[in-house]
Each structure stands twice: as structure tokens, then as C-alpha cells.
Amino acid sequence: MLAGINPVTRVAGLILLTTPLLLSIDIVSALVALGCTLVAAPLCGVGPVRLLRRGWPVLAAAPVTAISMALYGSPGGAEHFSLLLIRVTDNSLHLAAAIFLRVLAIGLPVVVLTVGVDPTEVGAGLAQVLRLPARFVLAAVAGVRLIGLFLDDWHALGRARRARGLGDAGRLRRVLNQVFALLVLSLRRGTKLATAMEARGFGAPGPRTWFRPSTVGARDAALLVVCAGVAAASIWAAVALGAFRLLGA
């Protein structure tokens, strides 16, 4: 379903979908948006297992934010527990549930809509659709691609240490040494990449041509309409049921 949709359109759709959800801290709007996301995820090629595997940081962050809101949220209603600055009340528990669902409703669409996005396609969209400066776009794409090499470099450094008999003794010292080595390696690689890009004319002034054309069409417009519709339906449901709370007030 997402095949052929411009990466810039996906980002715009995320903005349309998630920004209105920041206006209110209630359970209803978050439930509606989360339900729509879970229904649409398989249609976008993200099944339950893949959603759990890719979205585990969101799933881990949601209960943490909910617990902090339950302990330190705005008090109101009956008080269930109190200790120093901690006050667990009906209102703080309601806010905790709303925050828990809202983190999922905002984070999981990001997981779904960014699946299969290639950094090169993102760069092409930024330059050709949003008309951002080519120098900035090319540098950003190159930087993102280098980030993906950090993990491989980290494992390679660890294997090199073990091959030299250094082992895993003194974990803190080992981590610090590997971090410094990774920093030096990254600086050297970045310098070589910058020199190579300049030698190939990436820093030359004037308009550039692009190997991959980046365009928008009917599918992109449909995605924006769906995202805006989900956001509007979520807010409308909260207002209709009297659950809308502007910024949790």
C-alpha cells in the first residue's frame, strides 16, 4: 500500500496525523487514532510481529511515561496514595492512561509509515519536492548512510580486541577505548568522504540533475487525506463524547 508513495509525503502525513493529537490529553482521541493505526498497519505491509519488532522502543517508553504521570501528574479527585512529592489521584491515573495511549498513538504511526524508506529516496524528495539546497541534502544523506556503519564498526573493533587477546575484562575501560577508536575511524571516514564528494563536483554551484526522479501523485494525496481524516475523526470523537481536554487541562 505504501509502495510508490514519496517519503516526503509520508513525513507530511505523520505531521497531519500526530500534531492534532498533541492538543488534547484524553483517552478517546488516542484510542481512535491507535485503532486506525492497528487496522491500517497490515495493509501497509507491517504485520503484528513486525510491528512489535520495529516498535519496541515505543512500547517500552509508553509505560515509563504513564508511571511518571501517575506519580507526579496534576492531582484531582480521590487520593489513593501519597508520599512526599508523589500523589496518586483519580486525575493523575486518568492522565497516565491517556499518556500511555497517546504515546502509542503517536509513535506507532511513525513505525508504520517509515517502513522501507530509503535515505537516498528521502534526499531526492527533499531536493526535488521541497526544493531544499542540494548541498544540505547530499550531506545529510551521506551522514545518514554513515550512521548505519557505526554498529558494524563497533562489532569489528570488539572482534579485533578479542583476537589480540584483550578479552572482555574491564568493561568500562573497553567501552571507552572502543568509543575513542570509533570516533577516530568516523572522522577519518568523514574526511575521505568529503574529499571524494568535492572531487566529484558535489559542492559545485548551480542547479543539479538527479538520477532518481522524485514526484508526487494521486497516491500521495490519498495518504494525506487519510492521515488528516484520522486526526479529525479522533478529535471529533473526543469532543462529541466530552472527553476533549486541551493540553490536559
Instruction: Provide DSSP, 21-60.
Output: GGSB--HHHHHHHHHHHHHHHHHTT--HHHHHHHSHHHHH
pLDDT at position 159 is 82
pLDDT at position 248 is 56
Residues 9, 245, 76, CA angle at the centre, nearest 5°? 140
SS3 168: coil
pLDDT at position 178 is 82
Residue whose grid cell is 573497553: 174
Sorted by where each begins, the domain ranges of the chain are 7-119+218-240, 133-199
pLDDT at position 249 is 58
User: HSE-up of 103 (CA within 13 Å, CB side)?
Assistant: 19
Encode pLDDT of 81-106 as tens digits: 777 777 778 777 888 888 888 899 89
pLDDT at position 176 is 83
Q: How far apart are CA 112 and CA 10, in angstroms?
A: 10
Mean pLDDT of 104-109: 89
Q: Is the pLDDT score of 79 beyond 80? A: no
- Do the beta carbons of residue 21 and residue 110 sit within 8 Å? no
Q: How far apart are CA 102 and CA 66, in angstroms?
A: 10
pLDDT at position 238 is 87
Encode pLDDT of 159-193 as tens digits: 887 777 766 666 777 788 888 888 888 888 888 87
User: What percentage of the chain has pLDDT greater than the value 70?
Assistant: 95
List, in sequence order, every beta strand (DSSP E) within 78-197: 79-83, 86-89
Mean pLDDT of 182-210: 78
| pTM > 0.75: yes or no | no
Q: Is the pLDDT score of 23 beyond 80? A: yes
User: HSE-up of 248 (CA within 13 Å, CB side)?
Assistant: 17
Encode pLDDT of 58-75 as tens digits: 888 888 888 888 787 777
User: HSE-up of 87 (CA within 13 Å, CB side)?
Assistant: 11
pLDDT at position 78 is 72
Which of the two residues, 35 and 125, has the higher pLDDT score? 35
Backbone angles phi, psi at 73, to 5 degrees: -70, 170
